[in-house]
Amino acid sequence: MQVFLVCVCLTGLVLAIPHNFELPKLKDDGVHWALLVAGSNGWMNYRHQADVCHAYQVLKNHGLPDERIIVMMVDDIANNEENPQPGVIINQPDGPDVYQGVPKDYTGLRDVTPDVFLDVLQGESKKVKGKGSGKVINSGPNDHIFVNFVDHGAPNLIAFGQKFLHSKDLMKVLKEMHQEQKFAKLVFYLESCESGSMFKTLLPKDINILALSASNSSQSSYACYFDKKRKTYLGDVFSVMWLQDSDKENLNSETIQDQFKITKKKTNTSHVMEFGDKSIGKMTVAEFQGNQQANNIVFPAPDPTIDAVKAEDVEMEVLRNLWLLSTDEVEKDQLMSQLSGLALKRSKIDKLVKEIISKTVDHDHQIVTSIMEDNVDLYNHDCYIQTVEYLRDTCHDLDLPNFQYSLRRLYAFVNLCERNKYSFATIKSAIDKTSKYKKRKMNQTKSHIPHYIHGTKSSHAKSSKTTDTTSKLTRPKSTTYGFNGRKRSTEEEDQKEDRKNEQSEITRLKTLTGKQKERIASLEALSGKENVLKDEIKTLEDRLQETDEKMEYYEKQLLLCNINPVSLESFHPLQETKGALLEIGNRTKVEVNKLKESIGEMNNKTKQVLIDLKTIGDELDNICPEDEMVPS
């Protein structure tokens, strides 16, 4: 007995009550159903499938049979080539394998979609025939349903695989299920950024549904537990908190409200919210997650908020952590290059969104500023749904729904739609104009200047020129009419008239060519000036990026000083003191501000050059349409 107690003390493990202990079943012979979903894919999203696999283990350990647990996940993590332990998924540092035994009901991008999810939830077995296991929530009026969904999100949507699950569509299905008496009570746990927006203005309080969200309607959710070996994050703060609570608590005595309060208090990274019928909170957790006492060993886990990061910053933080851990200079350079590329991509997305908004509101600076800063609730769902779907399909620079940073910028389109002044048609036009403008800007040296400065024309332009010149200089032999429509009596007169017209056309083109040369010289000068400015801006941006990274680096060192001064000795070979780090940090901030001011000035100069280029290009087009231009 003493040996047994010593083992328990040394390992810090908690033994649960024997597995054969079970409280009475649900009232009126109702049963439990559960639908667990991880909508994302890719190694960087490891944590989402880890959360869902852990949720399965919780339900299984508390007595829910596999036939009433449905799992949807792409299943590309456990045996991913990046996985140092093939076939194993963990949800906390040095934690147990949560992948073992998890049903593979719906896997792959083809079956893990919003439509399949909604069909499975409603029990539409015919609609999912031939997909996955074919299992659906075949619940009745006395049953309880537990839904756990983990994914990326944005205002009023979940970025479900390659598509969007919109709050309006989800709510329509939940209301129909209530009307059709497909459950007695339903509890929905949602982990995603801005997850509160899925329920805030839409979920009624009288349809027997309680929803808990990882964040409010405008916040990020947070990833946690960076793993050096796996080079990614293992969990999400909200999910890890409620899962670890369910692992160790007696669910037959703990209420949903108890679990909500515990999770809300411990999740200090975002505001955990509850919506809908809050009276369900008085019911026990066991009534949704299983009423059999778990017979599992609970492993102690570190606080998940210590290294928590916003979901949209995960990729950036992974690269930064790898850079800090690396001792290979070549590898560090590669990681820094990836960081710079990612930062540049984020900057371009910010500018792109602002540009679309600006074009929509006719470049009204005050309105643009308001839209970019506001965070309002969504009511005009049709406008917003059409807009984000169109952005996903046509605006590929945003990389929707894969790039979380872009998802976090969709709030601006909620603000835009809620002004009720700008229709989808207006917004669509702005998106189209922005896309065309970007293409024109990227190919600027191939439109007005292009074919002359580089001495070539596109094949289409050459063909056009040849065709048009021929039509003006040579009259088809088959006709008996001249250019002025007057009939010719002999072939000799026809030839004479042709030569006269040819000479006149050549004189005209020579005159235009002179004007072209003047404009081309101006274009070449401006183009050279633009290139110089771009080079200067690029140099400044590189310096800014380098300085930003330097500042981040010193801030991390300073943070280590604040946490544990001794750790600095082993972490940083230079062993700067806290005072020195503060001084360096302040100098770096001043340098960053100066660089930003310089870049702003350069951008203004470049904008003016672009305006001049366009003006002269338009003049050139007016002097000589493209189909009449000749090489200088």
Q: Which of 53, 193, 383, 561 is catalytic?
A: 193
Q: Tell which phi-psi region holds residue 156, choosing left (phi > 0), alpha (psi between -120 and 50) or beta.
A: left
Closest to 133 in 3D by CA, of 108, 113, 107, 110: 107
Strand order in the sheet with 209-213: 69-73, 32-38, 144-150, 185-191, 209-213, 273-276
Three-class secondary structure of residue 153 per DSSP? strand
Backbone angles phi, psi at 35, to 5 degrees: -125, 115
- The CATH number that domain 326-442 falls under is 1.10.132.130
Q: Are 372 and 414 in contact (CB under 8 A)?
A: no
Q: What is the DSSP letter of 563?
A: H
Question: Residues for the chain: how many in total?
Answer: 632
**Longest Cα–Cα distance in the chain:** 127
Q: What is the pLDDT of residues 266-298, one digit of tens each?
A: 999 999 999 999 999 999 999 999 999 877 778
Q: Is the pLDDT of residue 22 over 50?
A: no
**Domain 2-312 is of which CATH architecture?**
3-Layer(aba) Sandwich (3.40)
pLDDT of amino acid 26: 65
Q: Write out the H or E segment, with its range, that includes residue 276.
A: strand 273-276
- The secondary structure of the chain in percent helix, strand, coil, rounded to multiples of 5, reads 55, 10, 35
Closest to 180 in 3D by CA, of 241, 129, 150, 138: 138
Q: What is the pLDDT of residues 589-607, one digit of tens each?
A: 676 677 677 777 767 766 6
pLDDT of amino acid 565: 39
Compute the half-sphere exposure of residue 430: CA atoms within 13 Å on the CB side of its CA. 21
Q: Write out the H or E segment, with its range, that includes residue 213.
A: strand 209-213
- Copy the structure tokens of residue 493: 């007169």
54 catalytic per annotation = no
Q: Are 183 and 165 in contact (CB under 8 A)?
A: no
Q: Rounded to whole angstroms, how far apart are CA atoms 420 and 417?
A: 6
Three-class secondary structure of residue 625 per DSSP? coil
Q: Rounded to whole angstroms, how far apart are CA atoms 244 and 254?
A: 13
Residue type, 209: I
Closest to 504 in 3D by CA, of 486, 484, 479, 480: 484
pLDDT of amino acid 589: 67
Q: Are 310 and 233 in contact (CB under 8 A)?
A: no
The domain segmentation of the chain, as residue ranges, is 2-312, 326-442, 450-628
Q: What is the pLDDT of residues 423-475, one digit of tens each?
A: 999 999 999 999 865 555 444 434 443 333 333 333 333 333 333 433 333 33
pLDDT of amino acid 336: 92
Domains 2-312 and 326-442 belong to one CATH topology? no
Q: Is the pLDDT of residue 181 over 80?
A: yes
365 catalytic per annotation = no
Q: Tell which phi-psi region holds residue 153, choosing left (phi > 0), alpha (psi between -120 and 50) or beta.
A: beta
Mean pLDDT score of the chain: 81
Q: What is the pLDDT of residues 237-274, one digit of tens each?
A: 999 999 999 999 999 999 999 999 999 999 999 999 99
Q: Rounded to whole angstroms, how far apart are CA atoms 34 and 146?
A: 5
Q: Which of 144, 152, 381, 451 is catalytic?
A: 152
